Amino acid sequence: MNFIQLCNQIFNESVTDYHKTDNVDAPINNPYPIKSIEYYLYLKNWIDTVQWHLEDIIRNPEINPVEALALKRRIDASNQDRTDLVELIDSYFHDQNKNVEVKTNATLNTESPSWALDRLSILHLKIYHMQQEVDRKESSPEHKIQCSTKLNILLDQKVDLSEAINQLIDDISSGKKKMKVYKQMKMYNDPALNPVLYGSKK
């Protein structure tokens, strides 16, 4: 099993585990050894899965405004956790390849391996929920056909994205691609950088 096969297995496992309760407040029961790459991959997808459902909940037109604000703050915190975890996983890749001799003609990729894995994690959620729409008994035949078409596209995208990430990882390990870790430097959560937050202290 290569690394991307492992990622797909763990992302699928996390999505399946979450939907056993389908509850955004359900405690995570990460089955992997703490601080292992498997542990972080499972945690990454769990965060994405919970946030997916928080985004569904906050779009309820009947939601209480106070509850909506609390959910928005929770989504913001989740986004920060997600970003921090992506950067941590990128540090894993950087560590794995720190002794690789980078070729003189090596190029940079538009995104790091972990940000590509972030897209793969979300893709697992799209596939799961599109399959739910295909299987929904009360749906019209037209809806099922439309969703089946979309599902097939998503499944193709998963194959293509998995292959592309695998190639990127191989290129980094062989020195064909440079590996750099960038911090996202999100500003909206930082009281020193968000003018609304630091302005409130005046």
pLDDT at 57: 96
Kindly report the pTM of this predicted structure. Answer: 0.90
pLDDT greater than 90 at residue 139: no
User: Where are the chain's structural domains?
Assistant: 3-199
**Virtual torsion, Cα 159, 154, 25, 7, nearest 10 deg:** 0
Per residue in 57-66, pLDDT (tens digit) is 999 999 999 9
Per residue in 2-44, pLDDT (tens digit) is 999 999 999 999 999 999 999 999 999 999 999 999 999 999 9
pLDDT greater than 70 at residue 186: no
Per residue in 64-115, pLDDT (tens digit) is 999 999 999 999 999 999 999 999 999 999 999 999 999 999 999 989 999 9
**Virtual torsion, Cα 55, 88, 5, 122, nearest 10 deg:** 10
Report the Cα 134 to chain-centroid distance in Å: 23
Identity of the amino acid at 183: K
